[in-house]
Structure 1
């Protein structure tokens, strides 16, 4: 009742998993990853122990295939399991037990393992692999686009309910305190993949950095637009403000919306912040 893809980016060393299922809160069960170690998707009648135990095996130096072999060797319920693993060198392996409900199977390619069960057809898995192979984007986006392609190709035969994307890299977490770079979930939604992609773009807006081409000088039409938006959003009682007041009110907006990472010097604004202002409800 699930399809997933585990992947690796050799340039950034990021590892991650994206998954969708007709199952509530799939992100709490399927994806596991650790920077410098590997990424694991455990599903079907999922054995959650495959996550931590598989990562421990990878830490010992086992390859993705060796880790799977050892996991299923120890598991009497192996024929009901499905698992995909990518290790820290990008080697990939996948396993589908003989009792997994049709259509069930998986494929591997350079730096990824894609698998699914109770699917409309095998095209779901093939579409995930093709999209991952032929997309030049950050790892999270490649995983999400692969997931979207899998859904468009057929997806889970029972429908949609939840989705998740989990990407790790060294010091990738908040303030560099851990490796949890992207950890986003949609637990119950009619179109969970679309919603997950929407949330991912919000995540990038909040935690991404300002691109040089997006730095706007606060003058002319840009200044008037900012003033109008601050007035519309009730950060001020007039759109007519001097420079200091405009800067003060804009700073209040930026801090309220948690855009400190995109806060620029006085007299400048990130275009993405301005676009967000324009999209906000009053």
Structure 2
């Protein structure tokens, strides 16, 4: 029995300056994020697709951790695989070296490119430009690795994309102690398993991720003067956190703290008298009674 083909385009990359490794992927395949992307902080990243061999992920990371280069990892993985000509894999190592492999039996268009700190590959694509544009966009993009990876797959889709259509997308980025509470290395792990516009939906939930887990920037700190307090109290009343818009400071700040903790904004909670504009904008956008 043949495995379903993961008709896919992906990019595996790193940002040595930030100490980040990751993968972004889009596919005409249900839940592609459960199969293709693999990464380990300080070690590297692997994207395995086509007639995907999921073992390439953990085994590839193990070999990288042992000190093998990206090219050596791909050679070792494929030499031991009797179905390698049906496979496609991209690897980025701890030094930012990249390698990609496309078996000769992968369905056209299939292939990959490598560049500075990235490898981009795809199969059953509309055209080669899907892959080249993915790489070019990554090289020109700025910001955290997750931003650059998502921009890259967005550009790939616009350049042609998967010839069979769109269904799922994912982004995985790791960095030392970047996870929740500093207790894991998973900085970003977001998946859209089934959606008519998976990359757009991935971008939407990534922006939510940044809102909930990103840090407050200095330029977004707003002092709560009487006008701002009046505005905030109005929204807290509208959303059911206050019984009246006209309350004293004690009741106001108690309700504001309740709102922050209810909405999971503890990471953006500031000293009394200050508010993160990003949180305030989110509150304004929430539906509620007028």
The structural deviation recorded for 1:137 is 1.3
Match of 2:261 in 1: 255
State how far apart, in whole Å, the 2-side matches of 1:223 and 1:95 are.
58
Alignment match of 2:32 (pick from 26, 31, 51): 26
Match of 2:173 in 1: 167
Match of 1:109 in 2: 115
TM-score for both structures, normalised by structure 2: 0.96
Alignment match of 2:229 (pick from 210, 223, 231): 223
TM-score for both structures, normalised by structure 1: 0.99
Write out aligned runs for 1:200-239 (5 A): 200-239=206-245
Match of 2:4 in 1: none
Matched positions, count: 282
Alignment match of 1:242 (pick from 228, 242, 248): 248
Write out aligned runs for 1:115-194 (5 A): 115-194=121-200
Match of 1:275 in 2: 281
State how far apart, in whole Å, the 2-side matches of 1:241 and 1:123 are.
60
Structure 1 residues 24-71: Cα deviation after superposition (integer angstroms, max 9, x where no partner): 000000000001111000000000000011111111111000000110
Structure 1 residues 62-98: Cα deviation after superposition (integer angstroms, max 9, x where no partner): 1000000110000000000000000010000000000
State how far apart, in whole Å, the 2-side matches of 1:240 and 1:135 are.
47
Q: Secondary structure at the match of 1:250?
A: helix
Q: Say which is worse superposed, 231-240 or 117-126, in terms of deviation.
A: 231-240
Match of 1:88 in 2: 94
Alignment match of 2:105 (pick from 73, 82, 99): 99
The structural deviation recorded for 1:243 is 1.1
State how far apart, in whole Å, the 2-side matches of 1:15 and 1:125 are.
19
The structural deviation recorded for 1:221 is 2.6
State how far apart, in whole Å, the 2-side matches of 1:188 and 1:108 are.
29
Structure 1 residues 113-144: Cα deviation after superposition (integer angstroms, max 9, x where no partner): 00000100011001110000111111000000
The structural deviation recorded for 1:219 is 1.1
CA RMSD after TM alignment: 0.7
Match of 1:48 in 2: 54
State how far apart, in whole Å, the 2-side matches of 1:222 and 1:267 are.
10
Q: Secondary structure at the match of 1:258?
A: coil
State how far apart, in whole Å, the 1-side matches of 2:287 and 2:11 are.
36
State how far apart, in whole Å, the 2-side matches of 1:111 and 1:175 are.
28
Structure 1 residues 164-187: Cα deviation after superposition (integer angstroms, max 9, x where no partner): 000001111111112111100000
State how far apart, in whole Å, the 2-side matches of 1:212 and 1:181 are.
22
The structural deviation recorded for 1:220 is 3.2
